[in-house]
Structures are given as structure tokens and as C-alpha cells.
């Protein structure tokens, strides 16, 4: 259908009226009758350089003639150059922002993709006998997962380097088969982009580290870090702001254990020093370490009374720190993990006395303030939890549904996990021990875990479908 020129000008004007700061219409064409309904739109189009007359450069517009396809394209191009671009040209948007009209003016806005879960893909990565009693997952600098885990049958430290997002392609390597590796494994990506792993030598009772010599760990170096007593239980490794790793772990005892910290003096942990914090933990406490938004380490643990607590380092080397008891107000805590929220403060997941997944969301860097709540209240869930921050900035949690013996996933709907939705992932009983969760560059959730029934290492990946865009 062909439009009369006056009709097209009215359409262009209707859009342009939404843009603030346009000049008033003052021009005129000799064949545009004053007072006609199309006079104002046509004059506005002339004033703003959208039309130069028909024929071009003349003092006539020919308002009753049909608009050709070429003229339509020309009008729209000039409208973009002369009106839209002039209206948004003064904005100073950052590289992650776009110019957006909010109904009254143009503003810089940060788009956020809206995603919905679209199913899980489950892959068995190692079907050797008696593996994956402990697993730990990190995302490599190439955006692909790397998984450290134990082989209890051969008491070896193993690594799976995924070569595809779903880990169906990848390489499995034995890193250490000489030091009685049985459990208490943690992996992170060092400042050089190469994995570094902390673990326990159960034969000697020493804290160990494996520094990969390359991103795929084809080469590497075994390091013995702390040999003072029976040490290395529940090791957890993170990289500080200076690029050097820090490892939290326990000195063994009959009833309770002492929290220790090993501070690597370089990125490969070839040297360093161990310190005792003076903090006593329960014998079954995990001691996850994370680096807060203020660049200082913090360690979560369960105290001898069964209460969740943190040791917040006051300097980068943890030469000092403050201990804060967080809860619960009644009962006990166990099976814990920690991540750093989008606000730079810690958020801790644990198994509480009600046999549920509980979350403590710190509202300060040292966790002196925060909120404690049950997140997933399904029957007897929350064993072996792992927590990370999802693509929407809200926490995501993997754990074992102990009642059913299944791997379970919980997605928080808010940054402090005040609400959310949980569901079982696996359908086979006996799956979901030693979970470790992460997010790949596409926003997909990835989880490594043990299949206790078959004694295998397994991997789950959730695909997220993009359903829209919001501008929070």
C-alpha cells in the first residue's frame, strides 16, 4: 500500500514527539495549505532536514502524491541521523549499557537477560571403581570446567579437564598417585590461569598442593606444604588480591580441630608459611575460604557447639582476624560452603538441624550483620552443599536430597535467598554426594558430583533459555 506524503509525515512526527528538545516547526512549502491537518508534521519534517521538498531542493512538497519506497527509506534515514542520533548523542553510556527511551527521555540502561531453565544434561565422566567421594569444580579461563576428584581405590588425585561445555569431550589425568590422596580436595584457577589444587596426604597426614604447569595440567608440580601434625583436613583454596593462593584447613584432633591457614608467597605456592588462628572447630566442620569484595579472606566453619561462624581476616595475610558466631539460634549446623554475593559480602549455605538447606546472607564484609533463613525446606535435604552466584546475580545451590538419595538444585530468586525454587536433578537413587557447582560463560549451571551407587564421577549441565530482556 502506498502512503500519501502527509500521512507519512504524521507518522514520523508521532515518533519524534516522544523525543524531547525538538525545534518548533517554522518552515513552509508553497503547496502546503495553511491550517490543513498535515501542515505541522510537514513543516516539522522540513525544519529537521527530513525532507527538502519534492523535487529535492524546491519549495513544493506535493502532499497528495504517493510516497515511493526510496523516499520512505530516505525519510527514515534522515530521521535517525537528524533526530534520534542528536537526542542520544550527549549520553555517556558505559560499554555494558545501551541507550534506551524510558517514556519521557533517553537514558543509559544496563540490559539483563531473563532466563528460564530448559533441562539438564547428565554425563558420566569417570566410571572407574570407587571414585568421586570428593569433587571440586572450577571454571578455567577458557570458560570450560576443570574438576579435581579422588580415586579411593588407588588413593590418587585425578583431574578431568572438560573440552566441551557439557564435558562429553575431555581428558582425565592422574596427578598424584604416590601420596595416599583420599579426600579433602579443593581446586581454583591461579593468577597465571593454571589450576592449583589443595588436598590431604592421608598416609603422612600432610597438607599438599598440586600446581599445574599449564591450563590443561599436562605437567605439574606436587608440593608438600604443612607437615606439623596431622593436617590438611577439609582444605579449601582461593586466590588473594595479590595473586597468591591461601588455603584454609584443619589440624586433626580427637574431638575438635584447630583452624589453620597456609599463605603462599607466590602464585605457584612453591613457598609460604602456615599459621594457627586460635579458632577451634567441630571435628566434622568444612572450612571454606573466599575472598570478599574488600579483597580480604574470610573462612566459614562450625564451632564446637555446632553453630555456624566465620573468621574474617583483617589483612591479606590473615595475621589477624575476628570471629563471629552466626547461628542457628537453636540446633546445629554442618555441611557448609560459601560464596561471595553480588554485593561483595559472603553468603553461606549449610545443613541445619531441621534437615533443610539454610542460608546465611551477610550484609557486612565481616558478617557481623546478616540474615539467616531456611531456603529449601524439603524433607532431609542439604547434604554436601555447594553455592555459587547465578547469571542473574542470585545464589544457586547444589546438594544431596538425602531422603531420596538424589542430586538436587535450588535457585534463589533474590540476592539474600529469601525465596527460590528447588527440584531434584537425578532420577537414580544414590547420586548427589560431594557436589560442586559453577556457572559457565553462557550462564549455564554446571555441577560435578559423585554417584555413590555406582561409585562414578558425574557431571550435570543446565541449559538456560533466554526469554526476554529487562532493564533493572
pLDDT digit string (tens) for 83-131? 766 667 678 888 888 888 777 777 888 888 777 777 899 999 999 888 9
323 and 425 in a single domain? The answer is yes
272 and 367 in a single domain? The answer is yes
351 and 385 in a single domain? The answer is yes
Q: Which residue has the higher pLDDT, 12 or 112?
A: 112
71 and 169 in a single domain? The answer is no
Q: Is the pLDDT of residue 417 over 70?
A: yes
90 and 124 in a single domain? The answer is no
339 and 393 in a single domain? The answer is yes
- Look at residue 22 in the predicted model and tell me its pLDDT: 44
The CA distance from 223 to 208, in Å, is 6
Using pLDDT thresholds of 50, 70 and 90, give the confidence band for residue 4: low
28 and 157 in a single domain? The answer is no
Bridge partners (DSSP) of residue 297 are 291
- Look at residue 81 in the predicted model and tell me its pLDDT: 78
Q: Is the pLDDT of residue 15 over 60?
A: no
Domain count, the chain: 2
248 and 282 in a single domain? The answer is yes
- Look at residue 25 in the predicted model and tell me its pLDDT: 55
- Look at residue 6 in the predicted model and tell me its pLDDT: 57
Among 109, 139, 155, identify where a domain stops: 109
The CA distance from 233 to 97, in Å, is 46
Among 64, 85, 109, identify where a domain stops: 109
What average pLDDT score do residues 272-297 get? 92
- % of the chain exceeding 90 in pLDDT: 58
Whole domain around residue 37: which residue ranges?
5-109
82 and 212 in a single domain? The answer is no
Q: Which residue has the higher pLDDT, 355 or 323?
A: 323
144 and 81 in a single domain? The answer is no
428 and 297 in a single domain? The answer is yes
CATH, residue 397: 2.120.10.10
Among 109, 141, 159, identify where a domain stops: 109
pLDDT tens per residue, range 360-387: 999 999 999 999 999 998 889 999 999 9
222 and 303 in a single domain? The answer is yes
User: Chain-wide mean pLDDT for the chain?
Assistant: 88
Amino acid at each position: 500500500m502506498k502512503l500519501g506524503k502527509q500521512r507519512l509525515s504524521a507518522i514520523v512526527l508521532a515518533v519524534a514527539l516522544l523525543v524531547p528538545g525538538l525545534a518548533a516547526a517554522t518552515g513552509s512549502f508553497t503547496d502546503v495549505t495553511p491550517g490543513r491537518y498535515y501542515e505541522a508534521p510537514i513543516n516539522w519534517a522540513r525544519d529537521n532536514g527530513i525532507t527538502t521538498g519534492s523535487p529535492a531542493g524546491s519549495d513544493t512538497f506535493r502532499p497528495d502524491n504517493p510516497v515511493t519506497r526510496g523516499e520512505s527509506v530516505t525519510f527514515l534515514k534522515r530521521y535517525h541521523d537528524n533526530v534520534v542520533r542528536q537526542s542520544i548523542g550527549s549520553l555517556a553510556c558505559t560499554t555494558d549499557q545501551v541507550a534506551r527511551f524510558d517514556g519521557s527521555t533517553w537514558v543509559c540502561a544496563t540490559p539483563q537477560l531473563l532466563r528460564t531453565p530448559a533441562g539438564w544434561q547428565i554425563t558420566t565422566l569417570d566410571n572407574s571403581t570407587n571414585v568421586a567421594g570428593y569433587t571440586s569444580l572450577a571454571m578455567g579461563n577458557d570458560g570450560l570446567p576443570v574438576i579435581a576428584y579422588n580415586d579411593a581405590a588407588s588413593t590418587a588425585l585425578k583431574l578431568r579437564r572438560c573440552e566441551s561445555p557439557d564435558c562429553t569431550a575431555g581428558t582425565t589425568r592422574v596427578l598424584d598417585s604416590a601420596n595416599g590422596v583420599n579426600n579433602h580436595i579443593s581446586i581454583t584457577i591461579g593468577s597465571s590461569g593454571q589450576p592449583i589444587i589443595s588436598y590431604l596426604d592421608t598416609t603422612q597426614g600432610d597438607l599438599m598442593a598440586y600446581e599445574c604447569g599449564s591450563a590443561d595440567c599436562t605437567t605439574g608440580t606436587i608440593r608438600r606444604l604443612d607437615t606439623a601434625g596431622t593436617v590438611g583436613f577439609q582444605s579449601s583454596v582461593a586466590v588473594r588480591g595479590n595473586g597468591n593462593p591461601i588455603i584454609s584447613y584443619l589440624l586433626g584432633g580427637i574431638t575438635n580441630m584447630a583452624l589453620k591457614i597456609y599463605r603462599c608467597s607466590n602464585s605457584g605456592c612453591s613457598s609460604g608459611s602456615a599459621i594457627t588462628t586460635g579458632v577451634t572447630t567441630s571435628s566434622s566442620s568444612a572450612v571454606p575460604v573466599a575472598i570478599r569484595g574488600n579483597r580480604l579472606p574470610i573462612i566459614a566453619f562450625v564451632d564446637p557447639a555446632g553453630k555456624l561462624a566465620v573468621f574474617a581476616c583483617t589483612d591479606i595475610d590473615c595475621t589477624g582476624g575476628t570471629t563471629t558466631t552466626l547461628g542457628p539460634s537453636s540446633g546445629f549446623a554442618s555441611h557448609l560452603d560459601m560464596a561471595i554475593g553480588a554485593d561483595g559480602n559472603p553468603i553461606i549455605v549449610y545443613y541445619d538441624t531441621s534437615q533443610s538447606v539454610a542460608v546465611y546472607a551477610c550484609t557486612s564484609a565481616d558478617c557481623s550483620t546478616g540474615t539467616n533463613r531456611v531456603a529449601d525446606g524439603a524433607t532431609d535435604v542439604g547434604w554436601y552443599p555447594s553455592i555459587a552466584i547465578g547469571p542473574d546475580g542470585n545464589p544457586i545451590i547444589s546438594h544431596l536430597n538425602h531422603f531420596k538419595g538424589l542430586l538436587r538444585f535450588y535457585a534463589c530468586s533474590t540476592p539474600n535467598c529469601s525465596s527460590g525454587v528447588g527440584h531434584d536433578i537425578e532420577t537414580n537413587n544414590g547420586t548427589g554426594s560431594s557436589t560442586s557447582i559453577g556457572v559457565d560463560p553462557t550462564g549455564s549451571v554446571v555441577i560435578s558430583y559423585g554417584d555413590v551407587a555406582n561409585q562414578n564421577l558425574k557431571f550435570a549441565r543446565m541449559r538456560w533459555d533466554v526469554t526476554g530482556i529487562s532493564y533493572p
